[in-house]
Amino acid sequence: MWRATGLLPTRSGNSSTIRPELLRRVALWGVALFIACWFLYFAGRGIWAPITGDDLMNLHGYLLQTPRTLLLDNLRYWSTAYRPLGGLFYVGLYHLFGFTSLPFRLVCFALLGFNLVLLFRFCRLLSGSNEVAATATLLVGYHAWFTDLYYSSGTIYDVLCFTFFFAALDLYISIRRASRLPSLWETLLLIVLYISALNAKEMAVTLPLFLGIYECLYHPQQLRPILRWPLKEGRTMVLTGLFTIPYAIVKTTGPGSLAEQPLYHLTISPLRFFKTFHLYLNPLFYRDHFFHDSNTGELLAAMLVFAVLRRSRSLLFALFFLLLSMLPVAFIPHYSAFFLYIPIAGWALYGADTLVWGRKVLLRGIAWSRAPGIVMVSQAILFLGLAAILIPLHKRESPAVMRLFLSQEPPVGELTSGLLRIQAHLKRGAHVLFVDDPFPKDQYLLVFITRLVYGDMTIQIDRTAVQPRSQAEYRNYDAVFRFRDGHLATPDDTLKRNQ
């Protein structure tokens, strides 16, 4: 029989349990405060991060669309529109606060914090243990290779996808733990959450798969008769699966889909999946070319054997989750460590469950080990000991990853502040010339920044770096911006018009 799991029992009305229960509540809130401080200590500087190159491209692209189109694209979730939920984020905040990074970063950090709450609930629902959930949340509370999540609003797609994906998963599991099926309104809410996750990013397509896996692991006795199951216990999985079909077909074959871009060309094979999987293991565990095909296979086999020997539903679900949640990115040649943002939940649940199990095994031989005080002390030692191990690892890895991140970012902040400092007044649809800019000819950085700073998508941009202009031609422009030594300089007053 599978091991039964449940939350710590409480007996209201029994005065002997009041103090331990109060201590548990205080400890839980203390852990929550610790994780919040942990997250802000390591990642909090990202609140003040400037607009990034990805932000420019995304915001500019969405502003070229009408608000009506953006709203309709979120309803037509199956269309090839590029992640329309992110469009509402960008356009909404831009119209409310203008071209400044702080509102974007504050919303991103609020969502990142809320996602830790969703992760805690996810792990507690599956393991039945607050300790496992808290340990897993500490593991995900910061990861150095997720720098893009902390310093770039361009990862809002991953952040929003995590939010709606786990909101749907948590809601479904909590309903099934109550030994009932989702009602009509709960089913509609689950579908709305799922479609919202799909509108955020393609990573969400695996949700129906995990609903089915949950049913197989946690309610296997209800799988029979098999012909009735899709209409009863499996109906939510079937419904979300049906919503997935048109989405998957159009997104992979429709005109203008991501699959047409070289970075998203699909190469589907078991070998490709395995290669991608072990490539992601190295940054996940802060290793450099340590994992390869053979030891990755050995690790996964050992994890499977351990989960089976323990007869643990939560470990098996975590193992399936960390493997199968990689499917949307496993067959493309584009790699980014923050693609692990959803899959890391499976790794955290598996690792936390194993650590807590190990703590209990170590205490099992001690006669007085079940005393509430001893249990809480051992829990604190495990939690704080894990934090003590992670701190030097995070501190070692973070600077190198940050240097890599910054090396790939264009000088968006410098250019933006330069344009704001000059404060040229431009008429709508102005024609602007940039002289001697240092950027590649095929880069649209100056177009994006100028239009977004002035809030005018009709501004026309010319560059002498692309097409040389004579001094006499400068007078044909509404404004001329010069670069000196690679930096934006104040244009000569005699060369500006319509100031």
In a domain, 34, yes or no: yes
In a domain, 392, yes or no: yes
Q: What is the pLDDT of residue 368?
A: 60
Domain enclosing residue 202, as ranges: 17-260+370-407
Q: What end-to-end distance do the CA atoms of the chain give, in Å?
A: 80
Is the same domain home to 379 and 434? no
CA atoms within 13 A on the CB side of 393: 15
Is the same domain home to 394 and 435? no
Distance CA 408, CA 217 (A): 44
Q: What is the pLDDT of residue 249?
A: 92
Q: What is the pLDDT of residue 490?
A: 65
Q: What is the pLDDT of residue 499?
A: 43
Is the same domain home to 377 and 445? no
Is the same domain home to 402 and 419? no
Is the same domain home to 487 and 376? no
- Out of 385, 407, 429, pick the residue that ends a domain: 407
Q: What is the pLDDT of residue 498?
A: 42
Q: What is the pLDDT of residue 372?
A: 64
Is the same domain home to 398 and 418? no
The pLDDT profile of the chain, 499 residues, written as one tens digit per residue, is 343 343 334 444 444 445 667 777 888 899 999 999 999 999 999 999 999 999 999 999 999 999 999 999 999 999 999 999 999 999 999 999 999 999 999 999 999 999 999 999 999 999 999 999 999 999 999 999 999 999 999 999 999 999 999 999 999 999 999 999 999 999 999 999 999 999 999 999 999 999 999 999 999 988 888 888 888 889 999 999 999 999 999 988 878 777 777 777 778 888 889 889 999 999 999 998 899 888 999 999 999 999 999 999 999 999 999 999 999 999 888 789 999 999 999 999 999 999 999 999 988 867 566 666 788 888 999 999 999 999 999 999 999 999 999 988 888 888 888 888 786 788 899 999 999 999 888 889 999 999 999 999 999 999 999 999 988 899 999 989 999 888 888 654 334 444 4
Q: What is the pLDDT of residue 14?
A: 47
Is the same domain home to 382 and 426? no
- Out of 355, 380, 407, pick the residue that ends a domain: 407
Is the same domain home to 150 and 222? yes
Is the same domain home to 380 and 456? no
In a domain, 284, yes or no: no
Q: Which residues contact 447 (CB under 8 A, 6 or more apart)?
A: 60, 461
Number of domains composing the chain: 2
Phi, psi of 489 (to 5 degrees): -115, 160
- Out of 383, 407, 431, pick the residue that ends a domain: 407
In a domain, 277, yes or no: no
In a domain, 250, yes or no: yes
Is the same domain home to 125 and 171? yes
Is the same domain home to 162 and 132? yes
Q: Which residues contact 499 (CB under 8 A, 6 or more apart)?
A: 424, 425, 493
* Contact indicator for 441, 185 with CB cutoff of 8 Å: no
pTM over 0.85: yes
In a domain, 340, yes or no: no
Q: What is the pLDDT of residue 288?
A: 87
Q: Count the residues in the chain.
A: 499
What DSSP element (H or E) covers 488?
strand 487-489
146 by DSSP, 3-state: which? helix
Is the same domain home to 225 and 255? yes
In a domain, 390, yes or no: yes
In a domain, 314, yes or no: no
